Every structure is written in structure tokens, then in C-alpha cells.
């Protein structure tokens, strides 16, 4: 029956059989992913129960949003999940970049220095920091920036970091996910090691972690290993696919307070900020997040195994442990990147009939192709992929709200690659 259904959905027998064989080999991996998700589900439910989340919490406020029970309770729930003193979880935080900019701009003062000991930060932060000239950057406010790159093997350059921490170093930003780079993603334990080293040099450093794409991939979070502040986007992992907007910060009371005064206004802080109609989605999305993250992880592992078996370089490798939901596959030619993205798009429930093409996006130095048929526009916890059309011609794939959708999406990409003659339909040699 299922083969027939896949056939109706445009999947050939060869692609189906090959995918089944790969999936069969992954049952053990998937069980481990499910164990992490089970642990995190308990953590989320436990935090909701402890804070007495009630039906009234799901209703929003308007206007100033004074005494917003649902908002305040949700922030307490986040603080409990991340084991921090406080949290700021708001629809007024427009995206991940905004959440990170807010954390930086509110906790740094003119004359302070920001340090990244893990190399270049995420693209959009370059303008926040002022690495690329930009209006309103930290640089414009007299906040300087230093960076220590990772060692060629991906390890921390401890000597370089020791030299870079100075009198003015106030805040350290650590990006957990590789984002769209080829360096390894940092495990929570590696982040813990780095933070211990930094605090031994200068105990009052504020250690902030860009937690985007990492939430719920492990049973601990960076705030469990010494991070003073963790920051992320609600249209990625912790929004569970339901949050229609938003960002979060969780951390030390003082850091969160600083951020709240910057988000709203000095004197007002956390007391204002109406939650409108989003609380239901924030709560339910958070409730689903451990499970949705597991689905995205399974899809990434499946993709890595399919494409590694077919001989394409993949990062992380098929057997590697995961600390985020992003999967890179290198095709070595533009046709492969385009076919992959078109396959992802064809698997979408929304905009599945649309054919993505590469285009000259502002801010990029080459054409970029993006596949996203999402219920929440731009949401990258939903099945999505994108790739710059330039060497080495790699595609970055992430998300899937359900494992079944992720599996179908990857099968579609393979089908496309076979149809275009980029991959030979003779899979038997790989079995
Ligand atoms: C997505 C992402 C961001 C920025 O989030 P947006 O919501 O796209 O602004 C920052 N850092 C990392 C590592 C990310 O993955």
C-alpha cells in the first residue's frame, strides 16, 4: 500500500527501495534521538506543571500588556527549562538576529569589548557588530570587537583566546551551531569546557551562547554548563513550528533585566509588552518542540546517510553525533543544488507547486536558491533548504515538523537528482 502511495506522489520504486534500506540501517540512531526527545518532553511538561500553566495563560493581552499572566508564566517556564534565573520570551522580538542584537546591545556599554572565541559569527551579526559597516552597529556606539578563530581541526585556540581577553572584554559570544559554515557544531560539553576556561581567566565575563538550531538536540543546554545567557529564535526549534514570530533570551537576572529595558524602555522593562494572540502558539509550540526537533534531527541523519552512501561529501558525516539540525550536502555542481532544492519544494504541503530558481539576493555575492513551503513564512524548523550557486556547490538542509515529511522531502530530492541524470538510477551497487 505504501509503495503505491509513494508512486502516486512521484517516487519511483528504485528510490523507494533504496530509501527503505537506508532507513532500516538507522533504527538504532533514531532510538537514541527519541530518548533525548523523551527526556526533553518531560523537562518541558515538568516546567509547565511547576509554573501552574492554566487555560487563562493561553489568553493574551492588548495595549500596554500590564499583568499579562500568560506572558509572565511562559517566561518562568523558559527559565525553568534552561535552568536560568529569568527569561524574556516575546513576540516583539522579531527574529533570531534581533534577539542576539538585543542581548548584545543591552549588556555592552561604550568602551566595552565583545569577543568571539569561535571564529566568524553568523552572517547577519556582522552588521550588528559592525564587522560590515552598518547604521546602529555596536561599533558606532564605541563597542569594539575581537575574534579568535577555531584551530584548523575545529578545536579552540586556547592560547589565542587567553591573549585576546583583556581589560575591556565584557561579553563573549559563542555560536553553538555551525550555521552555514563548514566548521563543526559545538556540543554542549565543548561549550562548557570553553566557558570554564574563559571564567578562569576573567570570572566576571558574560558568556552568551547563540543557541539557534541547537535547542533540544541534547538533554542539556549551554545554560547548564555555565552560559550566563542563551539566545534563540522561536521560528526555529523552541517554537515547535507553531510560533508565528518571536525570540527568547534566558539567563542571569541582570542580563535579562538589561535586555528588557532595551526591548521596551528604561523604567518599563518586562512590565509591558502585550502578547496579543500568540501565547497559545508559544505554549503549544514549546510543548511540541522536543518532538519536532527530533523529527528534524531524524530527517538530517537520513539525508546524511542517503547522500554519503551515494558518494557526496556531507557535513556532519552519516555516523556523526548531532548538536544541531542543519545538514550540508556538497554536490560539486549547480545542477545538483538546484535539483535538491526543487525536490524539497515539491514535497511541501504549502507552495508545493512552485519551482524555486536561483536569484541574486541582496547581501549575497552569488545567486542563491531557496526551497521553503512553510506554514510560517521563513520558518526553518519546517522542511527547508538553500544553497548559494558557487563552489563547492553545497546545499544546506534543515527542519521537518514530522519525520514522515522529512523522509518524503529527501526522497523527492533523490528522485529529482535521478530524473536529471545527476545520480544514476542503478542503486543496487550501493546496497
Ligand atoms: C538563524 C540563525 C540566526 C539568526 O536568526 P534569524 O531568525 O534568521 O534572524 C543567528 N545565528 C544562528 C546560528 C542561526 O542559525
Q: What is the distance between the alpha carbons of residues 377 and 245, in angstroms, rounded to a whole number?
A: 9
Nearest atom in ligand 1 to 213's CA: 15
**Which band of pLDDT confidence, cut at 50, 70 and 90, is reported for residue 428?**
low
**Which band of pLDDT confidence, cut at 50, 70 and 90, is reported for residue 364?**
confident
**Which band of pLDDT confidence, cut at 50, 70 and 90, is reported for residue 180?**
confident
Is residue 96 in contact with ligand 1, taking CB distance under 6 Å?
A: yes
Is residue 94 in contact with ligand 1, taking CB distance under 6 Å?
A: no
Q: Is the dihedral of CA 5, 9, 14, 16 positive or negative?
A: negative
Angle at CA 36, nearest 5°, toward 35 and 38?
65
Interval between CA 21 and ligand 1 midpoint (Å):
34
Displacement of CA 253 from its chain's centroid (Å) = 24
| pLDDT > 70? residue 363 | no
Interval between CA 146 and ligand 1 midpoint (Å):
20
Give the per-residue pLDDT at 182. Answer: 77
| pLDDT > 60? residue 431 | no
Mean pLDDT in the chain?
96
**Which band of pLDDT confidence, cut at 50, 70 and 90, is reported for residue 55?**
very high
What pLDDT digit, counting tens, does each position of 219-262 carry? Answer: 999 999 999 999 999 999 999 999 999 999 999 999 999 999 99
Q: Is 426 exposed, middle or buried (0-12, 13-18, 19+ CB in 10 A)?
A: exposed
User: Peptide bond preceding 11: is omega within 30 degrees of 0, i.e. cis?
Assistant: no
Interval between CA 365 and ligand 1 midpoint (Å):
19
By alpha-carbon position, which residue is closest to atom 12 of ligand 1?
212
Residue to mutate (ligand 1; options 236, 248, 386; most atoms within 8 A of CB): 236
Is residue 122 in contact with ligand 1, taking CB distance under 6 Å?
A: yes
Average pLDDT over every residue of 379-404? 96
**Which band of pLDDT confidence, cut at 50, 70 and 90, is reported for residue 179?**
confident
Average pLDDT over every residue of 99-114? 98
Give the per-residue pLDDT at 100. Answer: 98
Give the per-residue pLDDT at 430. Answer: 61
Is residue 214 in contact with ligand 1, taking CB distance under 6 Å?
A: no
Can you give the pTM of this predicted structure? 0.97
Average pLDDT over every residue of 334-357? 97
Amino acid at each position: 500500500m505504501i509503495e503505491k502511495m509513494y508512486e502516486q506522489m512521484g517516487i519511483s520504486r528504485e528510490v523507494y527501495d533504496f530509501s527503505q534500506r537506508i532507513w532500516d540501517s538507522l533504527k538504532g540512531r533514531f532510538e537514541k534521538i527519541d530518548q533525548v526527545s523523551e527526556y526533553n518532553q518531560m523537562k518541558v511538561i515538568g516546567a509547565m506543571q511547576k509554573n501552574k500553566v492554566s487555560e487563562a495563560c493561553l489568553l493574551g493581552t492588548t495595549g500596554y500588556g500590564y499583568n499579562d499572566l500568560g506572558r509572565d508564566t511562559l517566561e518562568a517556564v523558559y527559565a525553568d527549562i534552561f535552568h536560568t534565573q529569568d527569561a524574556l520570551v516575546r513576540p516583539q522580538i522579531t527574529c533570531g538576529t534581533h534577539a542576539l542584537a538585543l542581548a548584545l546591545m543591552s549588556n555592552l556599554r561604550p568602551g566595552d569589548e565583545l569577543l568571539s572565541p569561535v571564529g566568524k559569527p553568523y552572517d547577519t551579526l556582522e552588521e550588528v557588530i559592525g564587522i560590515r559597516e552598518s547604521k546602529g552597529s555596536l561599533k558606532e556606539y564605541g563597542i569594539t570587537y575581537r575574534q579568535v578563530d577555531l584551530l584548523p581541526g575545529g578545536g579552540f585556540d586556547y592560547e589565542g583566546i587567553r591573549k585576546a581577553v583583556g581589560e575591556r572584554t565584557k561579553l563573549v559570544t559563542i555560536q553553538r551551531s555551525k550555521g552555514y559554515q563548514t566548521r563543526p557544531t559545538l556540543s554542549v560539553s565543548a561549550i562548557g569546557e570553553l566557558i570554564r576556561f574563559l571564567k578562569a581567566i576573567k570570572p566576571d565575563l558574560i558568556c552568551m551562547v547563540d543557541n539557534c538550531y541547537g535547542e533540544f538536540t541534547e538533554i542539556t543546554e549551554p545554560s547548564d554548563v555555565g552560559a550566563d545567557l542563551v539566545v534563540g529564535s522561536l521560528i526555529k526549534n523552541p517554537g515547535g513550528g507553531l510560533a508565528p514570530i518571536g525570540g527568547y533570551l534566558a539567563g542571569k537576572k541582570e542580563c535579562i533585566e538589561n535586555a528588557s529595558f532595551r526591548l521596551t524602555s528604561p523604567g518599563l522593562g518586562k512590565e509591558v509588552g502585550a502578547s496579543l494572540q500568540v501565547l497559545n502558539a508559544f505554549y503549544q509550540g514549546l510543548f511540541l518542540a522536543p518532538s519536532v526537533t527530533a523529527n528534524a534531527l531524524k530527517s538530517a541523519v537520513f539525508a546524511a546517510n542517503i547522500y554519503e552512501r551515494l558518494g557526496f561529501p556531507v557535513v556532519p558525516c552519516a555516523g556523526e553525533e548531532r548538536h544541531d539540525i542543519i545538514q550540508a550536502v556538497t554536490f560539486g555542481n549547480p545542477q545538483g543544488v538546484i535539483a535538491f532544492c526543487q525536490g524539497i519544494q515539491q514535497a511541501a504541503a504549502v507552495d508545493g507547486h512552485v519551482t524555486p530558481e536561483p536569484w541574486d539576493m541582496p547581501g549575497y555575492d552569488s545567486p542563491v536558491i531557496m526551497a521553503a513551503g512553510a506554514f510560517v513564512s521563513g520558518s526553518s524548523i519546517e522542511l527547508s533548504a538553500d544553497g548559494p550557486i558557487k563552489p563547492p556547490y553545497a546545499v544546506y538542509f534543515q527542519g521537518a515538523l514530522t519525520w514522515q515529511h522529512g523522509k518524503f522531502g529527501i526522497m523527492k530530492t533523490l528522485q529529482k537528482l535521478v530524473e536529471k541524470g545527476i545520480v544514476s538510477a542503478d542503486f543496487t551497487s550501493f546496497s
